Amino acid sequence: MPYLFTSESVSEGHPDKVADQVSDALIDNFLAYDSKSKVACETLVTTGQVVLAGEVKSEAYLDVQDIARDVIRKIGYTKSEYMFEANSCGILSAIHEQSPDINQGVDRTSPEEQGAGDQGMMFGYATKETENYMPLALDLAHKLLIELAAVRRENKEITYLRPDAKSQVTIEYSDDNTPIRIDTIVISTQHDDFDQDETMLAKIKSDMINILIPRVKAQLKPELQALFNDQITYHINPTGKFVIGGPHGDTGLTGRKIIVDTYGGKGAHGGGAFSGKDPSKVDRSAAYATRHIAKNLVAAGVADEILVQVSYAIGVAKPCGVFVNTYGTSKVNMNDGAIARKIEEIFDLRPYAIEQRLKLRNPIYSETAAYGHMGRENQVVTKVFNAGKKNEKKVEVELFTWEKLDYVDKVKAAFGL
């Protein structure tokens, strides 16, 4: 019997994502000036106020206020009527030095024996459902908001948009787990104030359906375009007016959108957030490593859908265990336990090895902090820090290294494919 599955996304102007982006901008700046930095940084945003807290061990000195304001400005909080504005918001820093009790479990004389920064389990997932090996509902939810932000910045076709927004996509699947059609699309977007409520709400709904949706649809392959039809249920700003939003409407905190950041509810999640953490924290680095493994295994033809779990003890380099679930889609003549053991032979899952393989000691994290950490485009870019100042620094970095299909040949050889 057909079934429905739903995933949501939030925009870069959502208060939790504002917090994530500030935290990851701090990570990038620390790593740009000291690649050995150890950082765990949390951000809180509310009406007219930003609070930075966390632990840092670094040789770099940062103007954290300037970094935070730059992030907020780029997102689009630049008007006083938003009640949260880049130039005027108060910024309180409570960042202090990292506990030596934690650091002694991470640093080692031999870098290869670097211990995990914490205990816990991390999951990576991949599916053949989309070109980027991501669940379709989440992929579409992200695309809607990426395009909505582009429309907002253009300020031509739609001129009343504000930065905060959320989306949700429900897809109907057949018994064999194939997407049949899009059942429901939800979009809630913050907007400028207006006098005629009903007239303007009708315009917003019309603009989302007749301007935004066609722009997103045009980016998709024909087989995905076919999932759109006139039977879709649309809920556009279903509560009515959405003028008060962003950090003024809701307090935002780093790490509260972990399902948006990963697989939209598909697969599993170990519970650890990513943003604000340097790669010695396996919550982040091992989640990227398991995504890299799952994606390469699916691309190599080991299975159509794969979940990979890895777990660690704090201060210990070797993982406690590796688990695999292929959901009955395996194409190789071995059970999931044997596949897990084969993964341990192919991929070194010690924290230092992950950092080196995926180039995680580079300032690559600001780009991850909105629209998902997984399924993004691997590319090389040049980033500039403190532009125009005497300590300006340009760094060429490779983004989203965990999305590379660079182990497909090794996987095929190991599994005899």
Name the binding residues for Mg(2+). 16
Helix (H) or strand (E) holding 180: strand 179-191
Binding-site annotation: residue ranges: 14, 16, 42, 55, 98, 164-166, 241-242, 250, 256-257, 273, 277, 281
Angle made by CA atoms 376, 384, 360, in degrees to the nearest 5 = 45
Helix (H) or strand (E) holding 56: strand 49-57
* Distance, CA of 44 to CA of 16 (rounded, Å): 8
Do the Cβ atoms of 173 and 8 come closer than 8 Å? no
* Distance, CA of 291 to CA of 295 (rounded, Å): 6
Cα first-last separation, the chain: 33
The closest of 16, 49, 47, 43 to 249, measured between CA atoms, is 47
Binding-site annotation: residue ranges for ATP: 14, 164-166, 241-242, 250, 256-257, 273, 277
Q: Decide: residue 2, CB within 10 A, 0-12 exposed, 13-18 middle, 19+ buried.
A: exposed
User: Which residue shows structure tokens 């103007």?
Assistant: 63
* Distance, CA of 21 to CA of 317 (rounded, Å): 29
The closest of 272, 284, 263, 280 to 133, measured between CA atoms, is 263
Beta bridge partners of 384: 394
The closest of 128, 126, 103, 124 to 115, measured between CA atoms, is 103
Beta bridge partners of 383: 395
Binding-site annotation: residue ranges for K(+): 42
Binding-site annotation: residue ranges for L-methionine: 55, 98, 250, 281
C-alpha distances out from residue 368 to 141, 162, 218, 297, 317, Å: 16, 22, 24, 23, 26
Amino acid in position 211: I
Do the Cβ atoms of 304 and 143 come closer than 8 Å? no
The answer to whether the Cα torsion of 308, 24, 282, 347 is positive or negative is positive
Residue 45 in tokens = 């945003």
